Amino acid sequence: MIKTVTEAALAVNEKLEIKKNRIKNGSGTKRLSIVTGIHGDELEGQYLAYLIGKHLNDNIELLDGIVDIYPALNPMGIDSITRGIPLFDLDMNRVFPGSKDGTMMETLCSSIIDDIAGSDICIDVHSSNIFLKELPQIRISVPTAETLVPYAKMLNVDFIWVHESATVLESTLAHSLNSIGTKTLVVEMGVGMRITKEYGFQLFEGILNLMKKIGMWKGEAKPVREPIVSMNRAVGFVNSDAAGIFVPCVEFGDSVHKGERIGDVLEPLTGRVAAEINAVCDGMVFTLREYPIVYGGSLLARILMPDTPEGGEQ
């Protein structure tokens, strides 16, 4: 059932409408919310919303509970290929929890929080930007780790990154929901303005597994991968020393050693290698440059350091 979560009047007799698809069956009271489209240039979640919606509708007899799918919290951003909210020049994920007596966007965000609140679990799906590609991962703040990590392990991601609380912005949807007791997991995967089908299927299988584990799904759920869990482990940042075209020679999930060549920055004009790019530490590559044009200082990769006393505990 398609429902309007909230709406606001726009110019020229138009309306901004935020909608959800509620899929319900059986007598179960468990509720899962799947949220995406907060940023208009992050489209990986659009494909996931389709996969989940189609599978549940085709196998509705196997569902025992409620699944709410919010495919586009920022529909104007998606329509205009804009990260933020057009006209307002705002990052929507810096407005939550909003206010019932605030600006138009604050009241919309407040209504979204009210609608999702009470879900047993909320999955907030994001992509990277157009420059970087991210291995499927879940990001969790330290204060919520004890509660959320067990659920994150069910979702078939490669990596769970537990952040210090100081790095978590209080104005995000996830922080606002976790603060009121609605368990919310933030997924980052893929690249901006693109759809990586294999990542969509990977998280789709993870969501079915989670639903099975919490008693919402009576159908098949395939075994999921065991993710690496980083509890404050150090991360190495690889930046370019030159301008040019970055061509990597490693893949996501590869283990590298400090000093090992992971790619080159090439000069098309002169036909020479402007810079050989080497790993700054031992570890696993979990972020890699997708957009090849780089300048001095451009981020090329992130490497998760091994589980050592210096890097923190796994």
Burial (CB count <10 Å: 0-12, 13-18, 19+), residue 108: buried
Q: What mean pLDDT do residues 24-28 have? A: 97
Nearest CA to 34 out of 67, 62, 78, 58 is that of: 67
H or E stretch at 205: helix 197-213
Lowest mean pLDDT among 47-56, 67-76, 182-191, 228-237: 228-237
pLDDT at 307: 76
Question: At 95, is the pLDDT very low, low, confident or very high (cuts 50, 70, 90)?
Answer: very high
**What SS3 class is residue 247?**
strand
Per-position b or e across 186-202, b if 16+ CB within 10 A of its CB: bbbbbbbeebbeebbeb
What is d(CA 284, CA 280) in angstroms, rounded to the nearest whole number?
A: 11
Radius of gyration of the chain (CA): 20
Over residues 169-218, the pLDDT tens digits come to: 789 999 999 999 999 999 999 999 999 999 999 999 999 999 999 999 99
Neighbouring CB atoms inside 10 A of 70's CB total 24
Rounded to the nearest integer, the mean pLDDT of the chain is 94
Query: What amino acid occupies position 8?
Result: A
**What is the pLDDT at residue 96?**
96
3-state helix, strand, coil in the chain (%, to 5): 25, 35, 40
Give the model confidence (pLDDT) of 128-145 as tens digits.
999 999 999 999 998 999
pLDDT tier for residue 314 given thresholds of 50, 70 and 90: very low
What is d(CA 211, CA 57) in angstroms, rounded to the nearest whole number?
Answer: 15
**What are the E-state strand segments in 88-129?**
121-126
| pLDDT over 70 at 309, yes or no | no
Quick check: 149 pLDDT over 50? yes
